[in-house]
Amino acid sequence: MTLKLAKIICFAMAVLLFMSGCVSAVPLFVPSVTLAPVPTESIAPTPSATPTPQQTAVPTPTPTSEPQRLIGVYDALGAFVSMPEHYRQYLEFKNIQVYEQFGDTFVDAVAVNTYPQPLVCAVDIVFYEGEETVASGKLQTQDGQYVLILQPGENTIYAQVNTDMALTLTEFVFQYDDCLGVWPQ
């Protein structure tokens, strides 16, 4: 039985050596088959003379009798817009209710827009304990939009706050989204 085992091992070794033959791949340059490079034109631009520009008369300002009103510097009520936070003064939040229902925390409020045009903004409600933020939520309109378009007058807004703790007695603030700001529509 040992002789038979030795023959099987030898046969297996021979098959293994036969199947693991060496393969060598070396790139070879054959001039009769390889194409010669095609010469191309120079890519550098050729300089050309440019015409000399004609001088034109410089306009001179003429004073007017009435003061100039700069466009976009005053709002619709005539107040000077000096900073991005200007339109926040026309928004007020009232009738704010924070309540728990079925283990979730909700906020209902009324946003009052005293500006004569709709104001566009995004607002977060942030709950604090001391100086630490414990929860927050995004205010949304009745149709679920997080970008609020607040019409002149009263607008009902909502928020759902995802948290495991009771927030009904926790202090909160409204924070405007700095990227969007508050602007007329």
Q: How many CB atoms lie within 10 A of CB 151?
A: 13
Structural domains counted in the chain = 1
Question: Please, which residues have CB within 8 angstroms of residue 49's CB and are 6 or more apart in sequence?
Answer: none
Classify residue 33: in a domain, yes or no.
no
> Does 118 reside within a domain?
yes
The CATH number of the domain holding residue 134 is 2.60.40.10
Tokens 């107040």 belong to: 79
pTM for this one? 0.59
Least Cα distance to 107 among 136, 128, 149, 134 occurs for 136
36-92 per-position pLDDT tens digit: 667 766 666 667 777 777 777 777 777 666 554 444 588 888 888 888 789 999 999
